[in-house]
């Protein structure tokens, strides 16, 4: 008897001694399930290998490996490298990184990845976590790190990022996308102003946080001032509340960018723009004193309704200026007793 045949016979005898046989109930079913599982796993692994694209590299390490070393140094595939080395590597890769960063921000699982997630529920608990798809969390963070390093050099990705903000995959991906714009300098700020002004933008209140980040990194946020002021009367309470918090927390301490915009709104022919300026100035009270000359001009040259509103606001932000105008009789008849308007709490 050949050796392989003898070994097979011995194996069968041992199985029978242990109560197993090919005729035992459940044995064919178990064997079939196991075979199907092996075939599926081989298919999934093969599909994964075939669909992976070759990332750009620097000094033998891929873009994602460099970025992962920054996001989580304890799990770095090498090194871990220093911040300087990571920054140098990503900047060296440059615009070649953009297609991957955009794709990672817009990540959604492929069909085979979704199938593997479904199959993982049949795995033992210890193995199940190893197969879970963490890319929905890891990939946007890697992309944000890449855009932060590239800064304004990544501005060619602006249209794609704005498009993704309009249809976000998740709140986390949305914030990573908006923050990526915040690191793109002046072009990114202009894009954020448009995003905030667009009433169709989902979760517009998040844009205020992205603009705050742009301010934190030293970018001039003046293009965003007018949309922020207009948001104070937004129908969405989360947007209006966030706008008032932004004004008090940041713009009130930046008169050099706030009051030129308020002055332009006062001089506009749009009553809505003037009303927004009146509302903001009234709530800023004495902090809005730099706008007094513009209000004096409106009182002297505006129509009856405008003079009345401007006088009320001036009485709140600079009552001494209003009183001097009354004493000098340089204020036309407004038809009101110049009582100040009631500010928003």
Asked if omega into 80 is within 30° of 0 (cis), the reply is yes
pLDDT of residue 77: 81
Per-residue pLDDT, averaged over 188-202, amounts to 95
Over residues 125-183, the pLDDT tens digits come to: 555 444 444 555 578 899 999 999 999 999 999 999 999 999 988 888 899 999 999 99
pLDDT of residue 310: 92
Residue 131 to residue 237: CA distance in whole angstroms:
41
Over residues 95-119, the pLDDT tens digits come to: 999 999 999 988 765 555 556 555 5
Exposed e or buried b for every residue in 154-192, given b needs 16+ CB within 10 A? bbebbebbbebbeebbeeebbbbbbbbbbbbbeebbebb
Quick check: 339 pLDDT over 50?
no
Name the residue ranges covered by the structural domains of the chain.
Answer: 30-150, 254-345
What is the three-class DSSP state of 58?
strand
Burial class (CB in 10 A: 0-12, 13-18, 19+), 53: exposed
Over residues 272-319, the pLDDT tens digits come to: 888 999 999 999 999 999 999 999 999 888 888 888 999 999 999 999
Asked whether the beta carbons of 341 and 312 are under 8 A apart, the reply is yes
Q: Which CATH number fits domain 254-345: 1.25.10, 1.10.20, 1.20.990, 3.90.820?
A: 1.25.10
User: Pairing relation of β-strands 57-58 and 61-62?
Assistant: antiparallel
pLDDT of residue 48: 47
Around 162, how many Cα atoms within 13 Å sit in the side-chain half-sphere?
Answer: 19
Asked whether the beta carbons of 282 and 343 are under 8 A apart, the reply is yes
Q: Which pTM does this prediction carry?
A: 0.73
**C-alpha dihedral sign at 23, 29, 33, 36:** positive
Asked whether the beta carbons of 239 and 191 are under 8 A apart, the reply is no
Asked whether the beta carbons of 81 and 66 are under 8 A apart, the reply is yes
DSSP tag of 251: G
């Amino acid at each position: 008897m050949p050796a392989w045949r003898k070994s097979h016979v011995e194996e069968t005898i041992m199985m029978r001694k242990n109560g197993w046989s090919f005729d035992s109930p459940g044995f064919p079913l178990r064997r079939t399930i196991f075979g199907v599982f092996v075939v599926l796993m081989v298919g999934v692994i093969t599909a994964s290998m075939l669909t992976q694209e070759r990332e750009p590299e620097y000094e033998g390490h891929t873009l994602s490996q460099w970025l992962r070393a920054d996001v989580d140094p304890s799990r770095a595939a090498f090194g871990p490298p220093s911040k300087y080395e990571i920054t140098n590597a990503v900047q060296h890769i440059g615009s070649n990184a953009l297609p991957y960063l955009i794709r990672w921000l817009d990540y959604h699982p492929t069909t085979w990845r979704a199938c593997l997630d479904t199959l993982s529920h049949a795995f033992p608990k210890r193995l199940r976590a190893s197969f879970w798809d963490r890319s929905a969390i890891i990939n946007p963070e890697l992309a944000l790190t890449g855009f932060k390093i590239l800064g304004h050099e990544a501005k060619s990705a602006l249209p794609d990022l704005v498009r993704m903000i309009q249809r976000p995959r998740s709140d986390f991906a949305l914030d990573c996308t908006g923050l990526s714009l915040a690191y793109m300098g002046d072009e990114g700020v202009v894009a954020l102003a448009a995003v905030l002004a667009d009433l169709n933008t989902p979760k517009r209140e998040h844009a205020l946080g992205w603009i705050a980040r742009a301010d934190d990194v030293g970018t001039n946020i003046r293009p965003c001032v007018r949309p922020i002021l207009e948001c104070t009367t937004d129908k969405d309470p989360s947007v209006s509340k966030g706008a008032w918090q932004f004004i008090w927390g940041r713009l009130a301490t930046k008169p050099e960018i706030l009051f030129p915009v308020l002055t332009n709104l006062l001089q506009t022919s749009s009553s809505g723009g003037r009303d927004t300026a009146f509302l903001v100035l009234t709530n800023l009270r004495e902090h809005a004193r730099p706008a007094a000359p513009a209000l004096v001009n409106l009182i002297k040259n505006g129509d009856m309704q405008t003079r009345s509103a401007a006088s009320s606001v001036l009485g709140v932000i600079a009552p001494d200026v209003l009183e001097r105008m009354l004493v000098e009789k340089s204020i036309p008849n407004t038809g009101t007793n110049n009582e100040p308007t009631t500010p928003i709490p």
